Amino acid sequence: MSPTPDRTSLPPARLAPEPELARAALAAPLLARAVRLARWAGPATRVGAGGELVDEQLPLAAELLGFTADDEDGPAYASEAWRVAVDTGLVEVTDGDEESDGTVTAGEDLALITSGGPADILAIWQGALDTVLADASVPDLDDLVDALGEGGEIDLSALGWDPEAEAEFLDGVLGNLYLLTVSEDGPGDEPVPLPALAASMIVPDDMGEPTDDILEQVSDAMMRLDDQFRLLEPVGLVEFRPVDEELMAEAGDEVAEIPDDEDISRYGMVRLTPLGLYGIRARMLEAGVDAPAVGDLADKGADVLLDATADFPQVSAQAETELWLAGREPVAAARELLAAARGADPAGPLRRLRCQQALSLTGTAAEPALREVLDDAELGGLARVWLTEHGFADVPAPDPAMVFWLTIDTVAAQLAAEGNSDELQGLVEGLASQSSGFFDAAWRVDHPATADVLEAMGRLHPDKRVAKEARKAAFKARSRV
C-alpha cells in the first residue's frame, strides 16, 4: 500500500482484541478453504509449472470444499484457495515441468493454524489478504484472453490497463474507507454507499456539479469496485452488498445521476470488518503511514500522551487516556500528567486542556497530587477547578492574576483544539460581558498567548464596539512584549 501524502496522519483506530481478530481470520471463508486444502494435500497431489493444482485435480479439490460437481464456480474457488495456501506457506510446492508434475508437502505455517498464537494467525491471514488484493487489481479473465498477442504475450496497452495505477487506485479506495471508519464524524461501523466511495476517488474537491464525463468515470469506477469487493469479501476484509443486478440491466451504458428518491443501497454498500480495519492499518504501517491505534500510548510517558492526544478526536483521546490510566496508580499518574502539562511553548495550552480532561478520569484518589500544585502559576488554576468539581473543601480562592491567566490559557487551548467554533464564540461573549474592565486587565496577563487570544476575541465577538476593544487590547499586549 502506497502512503498518500495528504493522509500521513490519521485518527486512531479502535481495534478489536487480537484473539477476537484471529478467530475472525480463521472463520474467513477463503482462509478456511485454503487450510482445508493444505491439510488434504499430500504425495498424490499434483501441481503444474507455476505451483497450481493441475486441471484434473480441481474437481476433487472443489468437492472437498463442499462444491457440487455441477457447480461451475467450484474449480475456480478451489484454484483461488490453493493459491492462497501456497502464498501463505500452508503448503510447500516443487514446481512441475514439461516432463513431470510438481510435488507438495505441508508448509511450516500449517501447524501454526492450531498451535500458533493470535499474532501467527493474523500474519498468515495478512498474507492471504495480499494475495487477494493482487488478484483484485487484475483485469477480468475474458479481457486477458482478448488481449493475448500472437506470441502469447498479453498486450497491456490493448487493455488500457496499468498494473501500478490499478493497485494504487484500490489502495486509495481502501484508504478512504479506512479514514471514513476511524473518523469521529464518519459513518463508523455503518456501510458506505459504493457511489460515494467511487466519487471520493474521481470527483475533485472543488467541483460543483459533476460533468457527464466525471459521472461516467464514477460509474466505471463503481463497477470496478463492485467486482473487486466481491473478491475481497471472502477473505474477511469487508462486508459487501453488491450492486443490484436489475439496476445494472436497467442502466445499460447510460450515465445518470442517482435520483434523490432512489434506494441508495441498490448501488452497493460496503464497510470494513474489524478484521479489515486491522488489515488495512497493518498495510498502512508497512508503507510508512502514521496510522495510530487506541492503546499505542499505554506504555508511553505522560508527555507523549498529552502531545499525541492533542490532535485526537475527543472520543479517541478519552479512550486512549483511560487505557493509559488503567496501568497506573492515581496519585503517580496525576503527578506525571501535571509535570508534563507545564510549558510556555505554543502547544502548552492544549496540553494543559488534555491534562485537565485526563485528570477528570482519575477519581478523587488523585487529590494529593492536585494540592501539591496549588501555588504553581501554570497549574494552580486547573488544580482549584479539579478540587472544586470533585467536592473537596478548603480550596483556596485564586487571586485575580491566576484567574486571568487561566482564562487566557483556556481560550488559547480552545482555539488550538477547535478554531473559531460556535462554542468558542459563546465563551468569548461570556467573558467580555463579565466585567467592563475585562480587556484592560487581560492585556496585562503574563501569558505567551495573550495577544493571540485577544485578537481572536476581536475577530469572534459580534459586537463591533467590544471587538474593537479586544483588538486595542491585543495591540497593547504585543507592544508590552
φ, ψ dihedrals at 292, nearest 5°? -70, 160
Q: What is the pLDDT of residue 258?
A: 58
Cell output for 181: 471508519
pLDDT, mean of residues 104-113? 93
Q: What is the pLDDT of residues 353-380, one digit of tens each?
A: 999 999 999 999 999 999 999 999 999 9
The model's pLDDT over 317-362, given as tens digits with 9 standing for 90+, comes to 999 999 999 989 999 999 999 999 999 999 999 999 999 999 999 9
Q: What pLDDT does residue 437 have?
A: 83
Q: Which single residue is written with the C-alpha cell 470527483?
A: 203
Residue 300 Rama label (left phi>0; alpha psi -120 to 50; beta): beta
Q: Answer whether residue 23 shows pLDDT above 80.
A: yes
* Average pLDDT rounded to a whole number, residues 70-80: 93
Band (7; pLDDT cuts 50, 70, 90) = very low
Give the pLDDT of residue 370: 98
Give 480: exposed, middle or buried? Use CB within 10 Å, 0-12, 13-18, 19+. Answer: exposed
Q: Give pTM, 2 decimals.
A: 0.82
Is the pLDDT assigned to residue 421 strictly greater than 80? no
pLDDT of residue 156: 52
Instruction: Report pLDDT digits (tens) over 455-473.
Output: 999 988 888 998 899 999 9
User: Considering only 28-32, 42-46, 115-119, 356-360, which range has the smallest mean pLDDT?
Assistant: 42-46
**Tens-digit pLDDT profile for residues 117-159:** 999 999 999 999 999 999 998 865 554 445 455 555 555 555 5
Are 219 and 201 contacting, i.e. CB atoms less than 8 angstroms apart?
Answer: no
Burial class for 445, CB neighbours closer than 10 Å (0-12, 13-18, 19+): buried
Q: For position 158, what pLDDT does the model report?
A: 55
Q: What average pLDDT does range 372-401 have in this prediction? A: 95
Kindly give, in sequence order, each residue whose CB lies less than 8 Å from that of residue 96, ignoring residues fewer than 6 positions away: 46, 47, 48, 49, 54, 102
Q: What's the burial of 340, exposed, middle or buried (CB within 10 Å: 0-12/13-18/19+)?
A: buried
pLDDT score for 159? 54
Over residues 4-28, mean pLDDT = 84
Average pLDDT over residues 202-224: 83
Average pLDDT, the chain: 88
